[in-house]
Amino acid sequence: MTGNTINSKDSNKATIETNYGNIVVQLNPDEAPITVQNFKTYVNESFYDNTLFHRVIDGFMIQGGGFDATSGQEKQTHDSIKLESNNGLKNDRGTLAMARTNIPDSATSQFFINTQNNDFLNYASPANPGYAVFGKVIEGMDVVDKISKVQTDSNDKPLEDVVIKSVSFVR
């Protein structure tokens, strides 16, 4: 789609180009403004270019956006953001959500795509805050499914690299 790449101010759709094919996501800035702006910042900085889907669990999710594909090392990120999981969006099949540690406000660059409905990841209460959904796959769910079936080691790391070549905004 050369020529359609635009600045994030004009679009809430992004193409995640992988070595398995393209995934197009629709972002939800009304429900998750902090999270969407965070993702857009990383996209605009080309942070996701040449990173990995480094954690793949068939029947659950695929996670990426934090490890350099060349070195295999975790990339330096911006400060973590406030968790926006209580926004009405659910961790349903095809949704895009922020990965984080056990600390609610710890998300930085890593995201995951749910490959099934994962209700247990939804906001339940302040004591069980869940994971912030901020978008959904609108094209390329077949690519997500293909990635979810790759062989992994005992740490859920794909045996062969699943590379995020680039992420760019489209109209």
How high is the mean pLDDT of the chain? Answer: 95
pLDDT score recorded for residue 140: 98
Q: What is the residue-wise DSSP string for 122-133?
A: S--BTTB----E
106: CB partners within 8 A, 6+ apart: 80, 100
- With bands split at pLDDT 50, 70 and 90, how would you rate the model's confidence at 171? confident
Mean pLDDT of 99-113: 98
- DSSP secondary structure string for all residues of 65-99: EEEETTT-PBPP----------SS----TTEEEE-
What confidence tens digit (pLDDT) does each residue in 125-140 have? 999 999 999 999 999 9
Q: How is residue 49 written in tokens?
A: 């270019």
pTM equals 0.94
Q: Following CA atoms 145, 67, 34, 62 in sequence, which dihedral angle do they give, to the nearest 10 degrees?
A: 20
pLDDT of 5 over the 90 cut: no
Can you tell me the distance from the alpha carbon of 23 to that of 30, in angstroms, rounded to the nearest whole number?
Answer: 22
**Could you give all domains of the chain from N- to C-terminal order, each with its CATH number?**
8-170 (2.40.100.10)
pLDDT, position 4: 47
Question: 39-86 pLDDT, tens per residue?
Answer: 999 999 999 999 999 999 999 999 999 999 999 999 999 999 999 999
* Residue 3 banded pLDDT, cuts 50, 70, 90: very low
Report percent pLDDT > 70 for the chain.
Answer: 94
